[in-house]
Amino acid sequence: MPTLLDAGNLFLFISGFLMFYTAYKDRSVLKGYDPIGTSLLIIGLTLILGFYVQKGYWVSFFLTLPNYSYWLVVGYSLLIY
**What band does 40 get if pLDDT is binned at 50, 70 and 90?**
very high
Say which residue, 27 or 49, is predicted with more confidence. Answer: 49
pLDDT at 26: 82
pLDDT of residue 53: 95
CB 9 within 8 A of CB 60: yes
SS3 33: coil
Give residue 9's domain range: 4-80
Which percentage of the chain shows pLDDT scores above 70?
96
Dihedral sign of CA atoms 7, 9, 15, 16 in order: negative
DSSP assignment, residue 56? T
Q: Which is higher by pLDDT, 41 or 24? A: 41
Q: How large is the average pLDDT for residues 37-42?
A: 93
What is the count of structural domains for the chain? 1
